[in-house]
Structure 1
Amino acid sequence: MGDTLMSLLSHTNPGFIVILAGMLAYVIRGEIPRAVVTIGGPLLGLAALVLHSALSEPLATLNMMDMTFVLYQVERVSIVFGLAFLIAATVNSIFALHNKDPLQDSMALIYAGAAIAATFAGDLITVFVFWELTAVSSVFLILKSGTPEAYKASMRYLGIQILSGVLLLMGATFIMGEFGTLEFDAFISEGEGLSLQDDPGAIFLFVALGIKAAFPLLHNWLQDSYSKATHTGSVVLSAFTTKLAVYALWRFFPGEDSLIWIGAIMTVFPVFFAVIENDLRKVLAYSLNNQVGFMVCAIGIGTPLALNGAAAHAFAHIIYKGLLFMSMGAVMYRVGTTKATELGGLYRTMPFTAIFCIIGAASISAFPLFSGFVAKSLTMSAVGYEHMTIIWMMLLFASAGVLEHSGIKIPFFAFFAHDSGKRPKEAPFNMLLAMGIASFFCIWIGFPFLGGTEFLYGLLPYRDEAMVYLEQSLWTTDHVLTQMQLLVFAALAFIVLNRVKLYPPEKRGVVLDFDWVYRRPLYHALVWTGAVWSKAGPAMTGAALRLSRRVYNRIEATFSPQGELSRGPLSAGMAIWTSIVLAIVMVLALIVGPH
């Protein structure tokens, strides 16, 4: 019996287990039983991943409609993303234990499970199914805020995510026509992906992934929705959607040159919005854009060191970004807002939350001895080794910007700065426990001699190259001092600018982003269309009905059994119509036929 269970677990996609736990979480009543399910589901998924029995071989397949669907296939890069997703799902469930909302618990797990299942899928149709499931399930985490703004944001979020899925399906259709199958092994190989040159399937797929990864000009759904989700929902959202897209880019487009510049731009432009944004959860959303840019840029470079950097950065980012969103979620839960203008001085009554926030801030800023340093260093070194001077300077500027808006602004304005006079209680124990676990990973992975760095580097797709880098480059004096100089000067710049009143102060207001360019005109266009239709609609409808009735009557008078063409023997009219139809057919054959 035990051997059968172990064999079943080793051949079961961990995402299926988490999705099943999500379904059970909705129907199970009682806080303790639901807690067992919400935490136990991801832990059981972790056990299934640990027990997986083979690499690069389909472990579970389904044959249907003359197609093979690979439901479970483990690759080295899948392990990195899948393990991070499972850890995040477990920690997120602990963080949400105080909730008494079965729907949120259920949707959070189904969303996480869908992302995990897609990570271990081996064909595009299976990925598409779970791609869409992530969109449908995650929208409830925004809707449950219950505000009109959250409702509007959730509808926009759902629309853009569904569009991403439709484009992915269109890409899959073209790929199916070209290769005759949608199994990954048939059209991609390790280190080599799809080409955007003269391949419409790859182009559709690229745009679909770009939407979900929040490429520049396609990014506004992220800031729009994450800042309006529930205090636990934003934590869950931060972990899965964009990183699932990063995983897919890693698999399908490694070495795609356009990703280098796309990623570099992604790292830079959010800095300018984040430093003037008042809502700290929206600051974190811009920061998420920035961090994903590092991963996208590394994927575009495509060398083993760079691809290791993208995977390591994603793993570390899922944890420390979740920690920062958890700290702001705790503030939201206790204070009811994350607006910088309404916060400050919270360290007095929320000291543990403040400490955990600082750990997350140090990690995302890539301070030595924290997880962000050991992850981001791979990408920065890969750019340097390729002598991409402009790209390296852009990433260096973005790294300094991260310290400004996430490393300093988030903890400073939330817990220190001016005293808002608010004295909320410390976060509930379950929230502190979740933040403590995430903080442990941030320190364990980044601190030498604890074994965390070796563990992370040992998971990476190009393990040998990672271990050589760890032994020869990571902890060199030049490398550590260069990073510390960057961080110290960035911190000094913040202090000086803040002292002389040149740093953008926290202000109430709305920061306009690129979506203003199309949302405002579209809104006015819809209002104008509605006004015109309210006046001209009835008349136009009546005219259209009268015209269609006249056309129908004319067709009936001509072609019906009693019509003109049916009177008597073959008439001249019938001959004329036959000639016209034949001419049309011949012209069409000439145009579309073989040349």
Structure 2
Amino acid sequence: MIDVLPPFTLYLLGALLLPFLPKGHVRGLLTIVVPVVGAWWIWSAPEGLHGQMTWMGLEMVWMRVDKLAVVFGLVFSLAAFLAALYAWHLRDTVQQVATLLYAGSAIGAVFAGDLVTLFLFWEGTAIASVFLIWARRTEGAYATGMRYLVIQISSGVILLGGLVLQYHDTGSIAFEAMTLGSLGTWAIFLSFGIKCAFPLLHDWLQDAYPAATVTGTVVLSAFTTKLAVYALARGFPGTEILIYIGAVMALFPFVYALIENDLRRVMVYSLNIQLGYMVVGVGIGTELALNGAAAHAFTGILYKALLFMGLGAVLFRTGTAKASELGGLYKTMPVTMVLCVIGAASISAFPLFSGFISKSLILSAAAHEHHNIVWAMLLAASAGALIHTGIKIPYFAFFGADSGKRPKEAPAHMLLAMGLTAALCIGLGVFPSVLYDMLPYEVDYDVYTTTHVITQLQLLLFSALGFALLMKAGIFPMPQRSVTLSSDWTYRKAGPAVVWYVGLAVRASWRGTSGLIAKLYADFIKAMHASAGPDGARAANWPTGAMVMNIAILLGIVLVVIFVS
């Protein structure tokens, strides 16, 4: 018997009911009500283990409630609500059902108390989310969705293999802190790393998210990678290798974000960078660092959603998100511009904005644990975030060279969703204790010290000055139509090309070798026939007695061999 049903149940019921409702406001209202009730459900759930059951001898826990799960569950509910409000205009059943199932699966995974339950919801997020890409209904979106699905399902298969090995080694499927060492733990770690977009495992992120629909990208940005951060925080806190993986994640996409023309792809590169901060926090593993990872996931979901909403509104009105085709939109989309700037200030970690109160926790944790090089790398990444996202996106979308486009302002429901998200970004920045009180561990930290504020302002102002000087000198990469190559080129282009050429060489070699063998065999048969055939010289000259003698000798050899064996 299940004592307390997991919140996923509510999302599942909503997804099953939605197709039977008339299209329009009734469906839109359902997609808004479900996450609101779900958030209340999460907030009201008592701490502890609920929904315990035995299945095939395995102890499964459908709902484990603690502060780490609650903070992720609440922000996922909030993201689902804001995304539903932003997508109020949608009349697409596929996207609405997929969004409910996707958000519900992510929340179900957050509260999973065992690896089998985690696996079920892990795959649920993969299957549901791909329809947000396919909903664009283009050939390119279909191909991108297939690549995305292969990667996400592969992550789940690796997780399944890992949990089987873990059960074999320990006799338990509990989803709890693990230590890397066995093959099972390494498989689980790799599965989490794929979904978290570790370096060289990240290209699915830049490939898939910009290919989704206007509203689909907003939804995608909230759940998959943050679920992976939660899984790492739950399963591998304090794992040192994560510190260095996260530091690399925070820096390596910088150049790509700088030169990318598609602003939604710029945002995805920036998302990858922010994930690096969270991974570093999980790797450090102290209470301050884990609080920082959870807080940065919370604020990151909000300001990323705000920026994706702003770019989505631009795409919705102009039909493009390419920097080379935009500019001057502040004239007819001023509200969208202001809200986008608030998102840019938040991701850049300006004081009084949400990114500052979460990023500071991770930087302080790195400094306290004397990870000085990592601290410097994160500080550099923070400066880079201002240039490639905080300035580049608003500048080239709304200012810069005038594109001549004069689109209407974003629809009212989009502005309302962006306005609420912007209010949260500012509210959390001004009143950080609201978020700090929800974090897994007690927070004894003053983010608004003179040192913190002055250090961050100096960093940001000098970064802005650097951007201005680069622009004035004509050195800053200007937007232009281009194709940016990343590591996925190795398996999407180079790999198939190598396989094709190797296959061509093997086929040619096989034809040549088989032809040579066939010719040698034919020549041998011809020679034997000429020598020992019925008309051959050897056959004509051998007397019958000699033939009998040869047969007798061969028979004797056979008998000796049989006797010996």
In the superposition, the TM-score normalised over structure 2's length comes to 0.88
Between the aligned partners of 2:57 and 2:484, the Cα distance in structure 1 is: 52
**How much has 1:478 moved relative to structure 2?**
1.0
State the SS of the aligned residue for 1:21.
helix
Aligned with 1:76 (options 45, 67, 84) = 67
The answer as to whether partners of 2:23 and 2:91 remain within 8 angstroms in 1 is: no
**Alignment-mate amino acid for residue 491 of structure 1:** A
* Superposed CA RMSD: 2.3
1:204-238 CA-to-partner distances (Å, cap 9, x unmatched) read 00100000000000000000011111111100000
Moved more, 454-463 or 237-246: 454-463
User: Of 421, 430, 438, which aligns to 1:459?
Assistant: 438
Structure 1 residue identity aligned to 2:186: I
- Which of 482, 485, 488 aligns to 1:512? It is 485
The aligned residue for residue 144 of structure 2 is 153
CA contact (8 A) 1:403 1:490 kept: yes
Amino acid aligned to 2:437: G
Contact 1:26 1:105 in 2 (8 A): no
What SS is found at the alignment partner of 1:97? coil
How far apart, CA to CA, are the structure 2 residues paired with 1:298 and 1:213? 14
| SS of aligned partner of 1:374 | helix
Q: Secondary structure at the match of 2:89?
A: coil
Larger mean Cα displacement after TM superposition, 120-129 or 515-524: 515-524
Quote the offset at 1:287 in angstroms. 0.3
Structure 2 unaligned runs (5+)? 512-561
Indicate the residue corresponding to 1:298 in structure 2: 281
1:93 Cα shift?
Answer: 0.5
The answer for the alignment partner of 1:59 in structure 2 is 50
2:169 is aligned with 1:196: no
Q: Does 1:135 align with 2:135?
A: no
Q: What does the per-residue CA deviation read over 1:133-162, in whole Å, with 9 as the maximum and x for residues that have no partner?
A: 111110111111122221111111000000
| Structure 1 position 532, deviation (Å) | 8.4
Q: 1:535 Cα deviation (Å)?
A: 9.9
More divergent stretch after superposition (396-405 vs 518-527): 518-527
Shift in Å, 1:516: 1.3
Matched residue type, 1:97: W
- Residue aligning to 2:304: 321
Correspondence 1:48 to 2:41: yes
Whole-angstrom CA distance in 2 between matches of 1:531 and 1:153: 28
Give the conservation status (yes or no) of the 8 Å contact 1:24–1:37: no
Counterpart amino acid of residue 448 in structure 2: W
Per-residue deviation at 1:16? 2.2
Structure 1 residue matching 2:52: 3-state secondary structure: strand
- With over 3 angstroms needed to count, the CA separation of the structure-2 counterparts of 1:505 and 1:201, relative to structure 1, is same
Alignment-mate amino acid for residue 466 of structure 2: A
Decide which moves more: 150-159 or 526-535: 526-535
- Contact 2:345–2:353 (Cα < 8 Å) also in 1: yes
Contact 1:243 1:314 in 2 (8 A): yes
Larger Rg: 2
- Conserved 8 A contact 2:196-2:228: yes
After TM superposition, give the deviation of residue 517 of structure 1 in Å.
2.3
Q: How far has the Cα of 1:428 moved from its partner?
A: 0.8
Correspondent of 1:19 among 12, 22, 26: 12
Query: Which of 31, 48, 52 is the equivalent residue of 1:38?
Result: 31
Write the letter of the residue equivalent to 1:146: R
Is 1:118–2:109 an aligned residue pair? yes
Residue 165 of structure 1: which of 143, 146, 156 is its match?
A: 156
TM-score, normalising length: structure 1:
0.84
Shift of 1:528: 4.8
Q: Which amino acid aligns with 1:194?
A: M
Aligned CA distance change for structure 1 residues 65 and 286 (closer, same or farther; 3 Å)? same
Matches within 5 A, 1:368-447: 368-447=351-430
Secondary structure of the corresponding residue to residue 404 of structure 2:
coil
Between the aligned partners of 2:275 and 2:297, the Cα distance in structure 1 is 8
Q: Percent of counterpart pairs with the same letter?
A: 51
Matches within 5 A, 1:338-349: 338-349=321-332
Q: Which runs of 5+ in 1 are unaligned?
A: 1-7, 539-575, 581-595
> How many Å separate the matches in 2 of 1:387 and 1:63?
45
Native 8 Å contact 1:346 1:422 kept in 2: yes
CA displacement at 1:32 relative to structure 2 = 2.0
- For the residue of structure 2 that corresponds to 1:275, the secondary structure is helix
For residues 233-278 of structure 1, what are the alpha-carbon distances to aligned partners after superposition, in whole Å with 9 as ceiling and x for unaligned? 1000000000000000000100101000000000001111100000
Corresponding residue number in structure 1 for 2:546? none
Alignment of 1:100-115 (within 5 A): 100-115=91-106
Q: CA deviation digits over 1:320-379, x for unaligned, max 9?
A: 101110101111111111000000011111111111100110001000000000010000
Q: Work out which of the residue numbers 462, 470, 474 in structure 2 matches 1:489.
A: 462
Q: After superposition, where does 1:540-555 map in structure 2 within 5 Å? A: none
Residues 159-238 of structure 1: pairs in structure 2 closer than 5 A = 159-184=150-175, 188=176, 193-197=177-181, 199-238=182-221
| Counterpart contact for 1:62–1:69, Cα < 8 Å | yes
Q: 1:324, 1:22 → 2: CA distance?
A: 27
Distance apart, 1:179 and its partner CA: 2.1
The equivalent residue for 1:475 is 448
One-letter amino acid matched to 1:266? M
Question: Residues 23 and 110 of structure 1 are in contact (CA less than 8 Å); yes or no, is this contact kept in structure 2?
Answer: no
Q: Counterparts of 1:366 and 1:484 in 2: how far apart (Å)? A: 9
Any idea what SS the aligned residue of 2:338 has? helix
Q: Distance in 2 between matches of 1:85 and 1:27?
A: 26
What is the Cα deviation at residue 507 of structure 1?
A: 1.1
Give the CA deviation at 1:46.
Answer: 0.9
Which residue of structure 2 lines up, in the alignment, with residue 565 of structure 1?
none
Query: Could you tell me which of 65, 78, 87 is aligned with 2:78?
Result: 87
Q: Deviations over 1:71-95 (max 9, x none)?
A: 1111211011111000000000011
* Aligned twin of 1:258: 241
Partner AA of 1:379 in structure 2 = I
How many angstroms does 1:537 deviate by?
12
Q: Residue 61 of structure 1 aligns to a residue in which SS?
A: strand
| Equivalent residue letter for 1:238 | S
How far residue 280 of structure 1 moved from its aligned partner, in angstroms, is: 0.2
- Report the 3-state secondary structure (helix = DSSP H, G, I; strand = E; otherwise coil) of the residue aligned with 1:71: strand
Residues 354 and 425 in structure 2, CA contact (< 8 A), matched pair in contact too? yes
Following the alignment from structure 1 to structure 2, what is the Cα–Cα distance between the partners of residues 33 and 532?
A: 61
Of 187, 204, 223, which aligns to 1:240?
223
